[in-house]
Amino acid sequence: MIPYISLGKLNLLGLEVQPFFLLVAIGIVSGVLLYDRICRRGGRIDRRTAHHVPEICVLGGFIGAHLVHVLFYHPEQLAEDPFALFKFWGGISSIGGFLGGVGAGWLYLVWKRAPILPYADRALTGLAAGWFFGRMGCALSHDHPGRLSEFPLAVAYPDGSRFDLGLYEFILTAVILAVLWTLAGKPRRSGTFAAAIALLYAPLRFLLDFLRAEDVALADARYLGLTPAQYGMLALTALGLVVLYRSRRQPEDVAFRGPISPGPANGGAAGQP
């Protein structure tokens, strides 16, 4: 049994900060820095186009996270307060953040007439790094309680031992980052990283949501027995398979780490291939 560890508010320069929000901020900064580091290696991107992707995705992510939280997880809030959609501090959904960020980034790249997959590889690799810290925050705040269980990796919640889905996703994200690190060692076809992230994360997240608690306050809504995130994971799995298929016909991109080999893949740092 894993002990229930709960950190109180942290005092930073006289300000009281919840560990979750601090880790989310660290995650955003870490993800953007990793994305920028990969972009500076050149490859099949235009640096000027790539420069604006993070802020567009982060903004779209925050908007999507709140809209999905209200519309699909807790629609009763909208019935009680029609302005709940505009109260962005009133709750967020990770799948909504993902959909909002990806959707905003996709619209931007379509507008710029840029190839989607090279940017998706870089942006989603940065997202995975940020997700690691975000799920660390979830694991410490225990805000994704699962069903009551005597499983050895259950957490001793105050009302009994439960699965802790935030903890399990934190572990899953660490595994995904290890896989990405391995893939990053040599040039890969565009779309490889995006497909790997989708196909490693989505099926397991779909299964994990079956362990989500239904006997707690503000339990996730179910539609035909599935949570909104599970429907999102089915769509993400299908999208990952499509990207994997398309990546087979894509040219190789620059390696995301290690020495940069001279070649045509590196000539696109300042322009489109």
| Residue listed under structure tokens 């291939």 | 273
Question: Is 173 contained in some domain?
Answer: yes
State pTM to two decimals: 0.89
Task: State the Cα–Cα distance between residues 14 and 4, nearest whole angstrom.
Answer: 27
| pLDDT over 80 at 38, yes or no | yes
User: What are the pLDDT digits (tens) for 229-250?
Assistant: 999 999 999 999 999 999 999 9
Helices 116-141 and 19-39 cross at an angle (nearest 10°) of: 160
Question: Is 112 contained in some domain?
Answer: yes
Question: Is 269 contained in some domain?
Answer: no
Helix boundaries (H) for the chain: 19-39, 47-51, 53-68, 75-80, 94-111, 116-141, 165-183, 192-208, 228-247
| pLDDT over 70 at 268, yes or no | no
Question: Is 42 contained in some domain?
Answer: yes
Question: Is 9 contained in some domain?
Answer: no
Query: Is 155:142 a contact under the CB 8 Å cutoff?
Result: yes
| Residue 123 binned pLDDT confidence (cut-offs 50, 70, 90) | very high
Question: Is 261 contained in some domain?
Answer: no
Question: Is 241 contained in some domain?
Answer: yes
pLDDT average, residue stretch 107-124 = 98
| pLDDT over 50 at 273, yes or no | no
> What pLDDT does residue 267 have?
42
pLDDT average, residue stretch 210-218 = 91
DSSP assigned state of 151: -
Q: Please, which residues bridge with residue 223 across strands?
A: 226
Domain that holds residue 223: 17-254
> What pLDDT does residue 265 have?
45
Question: Is 65 contained in some domain?
Answer: yes
Q: How many domains does the chain have?
A: 1
Task: State the Cα–Cα distance between residues 141 and 143, nearest whole angstrom.
Answer: 5
